[in-house]
Amino acid sequence: MSRPVIITCAVTGSQPSYKIHPNIPITPAQIADQSIDAVRAGAAIVHIHVRNPQTGEPVGDTALYAEVVERIAASGVDCVINLTTGYGARFIPGAENPRIADPSSNFTSPEDRTKHIVALRPAICSYDVATFNFGETAFINTPDHLRTMAARIREAGSLPELEVFEPGHILLARHLIEQGHLNPPGHFQLCLGIQWAMPATREAMAFMRSLLPAAATWAAFGISRHQFPMVDAAIDLGGHVRVGLEDNLYLDKGVFAPDNAALVRRAAEIVHAKGCRVATADEARALLGLTRPA
């Protein structure tokens, strides 16, 4: 039988992409609608950020997450929900006193970053094992914060998707697994092509895969023009894939993707061309060892 490949759709993200692309989903209704369409196009998992409905800026509002989740559930589509915990990790030093965050920082406590996970108990939540330069900001996840977040995610019964941007992040994740803070063998997301982190190349992906625990499940994505080449590479290397407007705004060179569903359909075409099949939500649950339907 052909191998099932899970497609995750990262629907909106936290970047100011709404200033560039006319169809970035901003409101809970828009985020839910594009999630539903992405599932109908072949995504088994939808990865959710939320934004201020008036400004489009990223926020960590539990009520907005709840509305998105409720709208997806009410649609009747079968999918796995993955809520981010990335909001709250960005730090910008203040101009006068670098020890005090600039007002544009969103750096906050691990409890605040996981409050919606404890409240809503999604099947999956992202868990950034990452401290690195993200553009002009620092993206900070200290070991102590990671231990606290891991405990709260475990309390919620959610599977942490271990987002790794550099090889050292994998080594830290393995250390947290060995210490018992994360359950073995882990489910990893290899994040490639972000400025100042690992490049989006087959060689980088293969090296990062070589560092994973032997039985770990994994997926990968590349940003911008690297999105579909990294889909191709991940399938060849035995992983799963992620696409979506969070990572890439274009369907072809210079041509905006009209929505997330278009990116999912393109990924599904690659999956089929590789002799694999697009995993259903139930197959994704079985592959990832999920016990909760959503």
- Domain coordinates in residue numbering, the chain: 4-288
Residues 48-58 have a mean pLDDT of: 97
Query: What pLDDT does 93 receive?
Result: 96
Query: What pLDDT does 261 receive?
Result: 98
What CA–CA distance (Å, rounded) separates 204 from 261?
28
**238-281 pLDDT per residue, tens:** 999 999 999 999 999 999 999 999 999 999 999 999 999 999 99
Query: What pLDDT does 125 receive?
Result: 98
| The pLDDT of residue 293 is above 70 | no
Are residues 77 and 280 in contact, defined by beta-carbon separation less than 8 angstroms?
A: no
| Confidence bin at 135 (pLDDT 50/70/90) | confident
**100-121 pLDDT per residue, tens:** 999 999 999 999 999 999 999 9
| The pLDDT of residue 211 is above 80 | yes
Superfamily of domain 4-288: Aldolase class I (3.20.20.70)
What CA–CA distance (Å, rounded) separates 281 from 294?
9
Q: Which letter, b or e, does each residue of 267-277 get, where b requires 16 or more Cβ atoms within 10 Å of its Cβ?
A: bbebbeeeeee
| The pLDDT of residue 234 is above 80 | yes
pTM of the model: 0.97
